[in-house]
Structure 1
Amino acid sequence: MGVAVGFAVRPLLPARGRLPLLVEATEPNTSLLAVFDELNELVDEHLLRDGGILFRGFQLEGAEQFRQFAAGFGHPLLNYEFGSTPRTNVTQGVYTSTEYPAHQSIPLHNEQAYSRDWPMKIWFYSMIAATSGGETPIADSREVYRRMPVAIRERFVSKGLMYVRNFGNGLDVAWEQVFNTEDREVAEAYCKAHGIICEWKDDGELRTRQTCQAVARHPVTGDMVWFNQAHLFHISNLQPEVRETLLDIVDEEDLPRNVYYGDGSPIEDEVLNEIRAVLDDCAISFPWQEGDVLMLDNMLSAHARAPFEGKRKVIVAMAEGHSQDVR
């Protein structure tokens, strides 16, 4: 596509379209921060069209420089509030990627699409590439929306989605970690401000319910995108033996997480299987190289994680919070 001072620009996988756009250093020892102004202009031009940009072959020295790079785009980095998975804070606004065991995969999803508040931008920095596997597959959420069976899409849009979460009890992330507080009133205030129904159970743990969108319209491009985590939160996402074991331990209403239609009725397993099939067809995968930085528009592009072997370290930053009214 073109060569600028210090880097070249082209689709990484032309046969799959323009996602992700590859921006690759053409001169050795080019610092990602040193060419930031030029890259910022390129991001302004391409991110909203292509959905994601992969910066490769640049020098970037650790988490602090990654923080500087992500923060340089003009929005303060976000704290990981009302998170759904375990993470560790690395430096201000920078977190580890989801700390699930290496053998587990994480399905395609848009960050925090299970809520009404999410980051518009998300960055991934590959500090250590896995010996094998460990890719971060991505997908065009506009394409997912277009390819979703119309009957499913219309049902999801008309009914909405209700996410139910039960924190703690050794089965999921503790509410104190999710809300970054040990004060019940602070957690309650967050829920009230964000349209989340919360209740304290007899065992002292917290249950929340929130009705959210199934699709969304990008506030800048106007594109419609598939934007939910029903396939990830639903109990059918668990391996059958894990699902059976959990239901032996707790009642359905006490599952760590589950999702229903917005009216509380169950979502059919076969519907979620169709949704997963569309996501699988739209997935774009490529191996990480150490030093890679991937920048996504979080509404236009979904991301996932493949199982891996060996050490792997990918850290994450998010910015530009956006809120959606669901009526």
Structure 2
Amino acid sequence: MTDPIRWAGSGLETGPLFAERALPLLVKPGNGDPRLAVHLSRLWALAESRLHRHGGLLFRGFQVDGVEEFRAFAEGFGHPLLGYDFGSTPRTQVGEGIYTSTEYPPHQAIPLHNEQAYTREWPMKIWFHCAVAARHGGATPIADSRAIYRRIDPGLRQRFAAKGVMYVRNYGNGLDVPWTQVFNTQDRAQVETYCRAHGIACEWKDDGGLRTRQVCQGVARHPVTGEAVWFNQAHLFHVSNLEPEVRETLLEVLDEADLPRNAYYGDGTPLEAAALAEIRGVLDLETLSFPWREGDVLMLDNMLAAHARAPFEGPRRVVVAMAEPWRLET
């Protein structure tokens, strides 16, 4: 990394975390007061100036006094924190607007994705705070969504742009997050109202489960910078994302239409294996990974930067906040 520089006389030190990569910008408190809350106004100004250029800021070396201080910090950027509506993974709320990171078993990796890119409404800002760093592994890898878009074959980009992605989800039977948790209600009428308002087709199954379908964007343009970004979770939702033995077992007992989740082109036609392989290969090439240090706060523009989770050993506690909803108009 190049030597850090002072930013606008603020006492903050900034510099690249990775040589020749803009993402993320590393920000340190310099020789001043290390308490994160003390620097909020300066960090807000820094984010206004640099976030769209870099896609993400890593605040390192600051003191964060627990979940409440992290919540106040994230909220201090000018937007109320969001709930985890229509979520796709298990999380636990640990404070107002603060959630655990995805609670998958430690040995599992979570592929790169932009938060809630599987729907038509998503947060523009997302923050991660490392309260406890894992003994081994547990990084939150990131990647520039603009660079991913540029590297994807133009023909494949055009297919995703023209067709979009259809996400099919089946809730129930203990195979995925239950619909009561996804929609934060036990009232079927409320689920139907939510789905109508968000362009989601839903149907109640004879076994008491729920199936939803939604056609969403394959690529998108950032509303502020105008830049094109790769913005979908087709590679993550598609059945091929499962371990082969898990996939084979599920397909032995379930029809394809009843899989917990799957993805298709927006017109319902299958996604090609070669297309998914190319997407995953590009994501691998663009992945940037760094070990967490306790106290770190990572702020991402959720459209400009994707994130993931590496497997880990030992205790790990990373909490998440989201803000500034953006909805794609039909």
TM-score by length of 1: 0.98
**Aligned with residue 67 of structure 1, among 60, 64, 71:** 71
Alpha-carbon distance in structure 2 between the residues aligned to 1:96 and 1:23? 24
C-alpha RMSD over aligned residues: 1.0
Alignment-mate amino acid for residue 113 of structure 2: H
Q: Equivalent of 2:176, from 167, 172, 179?
A: 172
Partner amino acid, structure 1, of 2:162: S
Counterpart amino acid of residue 13 in structure 1 = F
SS, match of residue 180 in structure 1: coil
**Following TM superposition, by how much is the alpha carbon of 1:157 offset from its aligned partner in structure 2, in angstroms?**
1.3
Structure 1 residue 150 displacement after superposition = 1.1
The match for 2:191 is 187
The 8 Å contact of residues 113 and 227 in structure 1, kept in 2 or not, is answered as yes
1:27 positional shift: 2.9
Corresponding residue number in structure 1 for 2:158: 154
Divergent runs of 4+, >6 A: none
Question: Partners in 2 of 1:218 and 1:91 — Cα distance?
Answer: 30
Deviation per CA, 1:178-205: give whole Å up to 9, x if none.
Answer: 0000000001100000000000000111
- For the 8 Å contact 1:60–1:66, the answer to whether it is kept is yes
Aligned residue number for residue 211 of structure 2: 207
Q: Distance in 2 between matches of 1:58 and 1:158?
A: 45
The alignment of Structure 1 onto Structure 2 pairs a total of residues equal to 325
Structure 2: tracts of 5 or more residues without a match: none
What SS does the aligned partner of 1:35 have?
A: helix
- Among residues 9, 15, 29, which one is paired with 2:14 in the alignment? 9
Select the residue among 238, 246, 259 that pairs with 1:242.
246
Give the one of 302, 323, 329 matched to 1:298. Answer: 302
**Structure 2 residue identity aligned to 1:188:** E
Alignment-derived partner of residue 76 in structure 1 = 80
Q: Deviations along 1:108-149, whole A, 9 cap, x unmatched? A: 000000000000000000000011111101000000000001
Residue in 2 aligned with 1:24? Answer: 28
- Verify the 8 A CA contact 1:126 1:288 in the aligned structure 2: yes
* Residue number among 245, 248, 263 corresponding to 1:259 in the alignment: 263
Q: Are 1:224 and 2:253 matched, yes or no? A: no
SS of residue paired to 2:38:
coil
Indicate the residue corresponding to 1:55 in structure 2.
59
Q: Which amino acid aligns with 1:12?
A: L
Match of 1:139 among 143, 149, 159: 143
Q: Which shows bigger deviation, 85-94 or 157-166?
A: 157-166
Counterpart CA distance in 2 for 1:77 and 1:293 is 16
Please give the secondary structure, in 2, of the residue aligned with 1:27.
coil
For residues 5-53 of structure 1, what are the alpha-carbon distances to aligned partners after superposition, in whole Å with 9 as ceiling and x for unaligned? 44211011123x1100000122375111111111111010000111000
Q: Output the TM-score relative to the length of structure 2.
A: 0.97
Aligned to 1:313: 317
Taking the aligned partners of 1:105 and 1:309, their CA distance within structure 2 comes to 12
Q: Once the 2 structures are TM-superposed, how far is the Cα of residue 267 of structure 1 from its aligned partner?
A: 0.5
Hey, what's the Cα distance between the residues in 2 that align with 1:9 and 1:263?
46
Q: Give how far 1:2 is off.
A: 2.1
Letter in 2 for 1:183: D
Alignment of 1:85 with 2:89, yes or no, is: yes
Q: Kindly state the Cα deviation for residue 158 of structure 1 after the two structures are TM-superposed.
A: 1.5
5+ residue gaps, structure 1, are none
